[in-house]
Amino acid sequence: MFSSVISAVCLALWISSAVNSAEDEHMTRALQLMSETPLIDGHNDLPWQLRKQFNNELNKVDLNKLETTHTNIPKIKKGRLGAQFWSAYVPCETQYKDAVRQTLEQIDVVHRLCQKYPETFKFATSSEEIMEAFNMNRTASLIGVEGGHSLDSSLGSLRTMYQLGVRYLTVTHSCNTPWADNWLVDTGSEPSEHNGLSPFGKQLIVEMNRLGMLIDLAHVTVAVMNQVLDMSKAPVIFSHSSAYSICPHKRNVPDDVLRRVNETRGIVMVNFYNDYVTCSKTAKLSDVADHFDHIKKVGGAGIVGFGGDYDGVTRLPEGLEDVSKVPNVVAELLRRGWTDEEVKAALGNNLLRVLTETEKVRDGLADQSPDDVPIPYDEVKNPCRTSYGYPVSTGAVHSVSTLALLLTLALITLTRL
């Protein structure tokens, strides 16, 4: 009896040791692959946390010690973060008010982070610069503007932000713009205003191709997804979205769109937010890996990427609580039988390809002039917007003429008294 118990205990210890050994082997391999290919994450909201917690006063922040965010320098190092698209996000409440100013301030924060911590971050705007930073053991830092409302419906604002280093625009956030519908329209909680994109919205997509700016379709309706896929000459990205078939949340990407992303050589970067992973408040690491598996199954390993949404969400899966835990996903994919080539594609090679092809489209359109046809004033008219530059309408001319006539009559009357 006693010897049987001893044997059972030994067997359990052997099994446990074998399992731990296999897990260690997968993690060792994961870290090796991450040393060869940069992990490029599509979306991190640390800049917004710096706004919320410190009002962008970076002199009051030490990213080496900050513990109130998912992201700090020790976590970045442990997580082997090769490149990050930092989100220049401002809320929809800023639309028609001070969205452009606030967005410029978020762009400024990213630049200042790179200046304050040059041993950790290196600002990047191209596929080549990402690899330069990676080879220097720095985290390449790129900027994505999250929400078309940040442009105030201005192609000039788009071009200015590109000149400041912005390399993707999320077409909408969680509000319609004067030219595009957001994902909430598909939930039925908001009405469609444009049946996808307005004519100006389509102008903007063409101009983004000309500039070489990535088009991010996270947060848009399925109609917008398909319209952009129809017309964009460059591959698109979903910077932080998961698979709708695994979790039927309208922020996720349906299978027919996944197949189109494959056909157009784009990328879907998996979001870690529990609500998009399991459609519930709780999730596990394995649930996130299920999204990677599904996207690979439907669209191929060539369209998968990482888009954790750290510091932009309130609930994260067990085993992925902060940026330092991302290698756990890589090890899990290896455990599930992903090849080294497939893992490297998801880590960064897919995004590098998309960015490189977008740059080639830009270079091929170099002889085209910037689009300077503004959005029709009637589509953006509001109390906070002036109409300088727009032709004065017939109605406005009539009103001014009427006022002048009344003043003239009043003066004539006064002179007669």
| Residues with a known catalytic role | 43, 45, 146, 173, 219, 240, 309
DSSP 254: -
Please return the burial class of 350, using the count of CB atoms within 10 Å of its CB with bins 0-12, 13-18 and 19+: buried
Report the distance separating Cα 127 and Cα 83, nearest Å: 10
Calculate helix-pair angle for 255-263, 285-299, nearest 10 degrees: 60
Could you tell me which residues are beta bridge partners of residue 121? 139
Helix, strand, coil proportions of the chain in percent (round to 5)?
50, 10, 35
Number of residues in the chain: 417
Could you tell me which residues are beta bridge partners of residue 269? 305
Scored b (16 or more CB within 10 A) or e, 290-323 reads bbbbbbbebbbbbbbbbbbbbbbbeebbeebebb
Calculate helix-pair angle for 222-231, 199-211, nearest 10 degrees: 50
Report the distance separating Cα 41 and Cα 348, nearest Å: 8
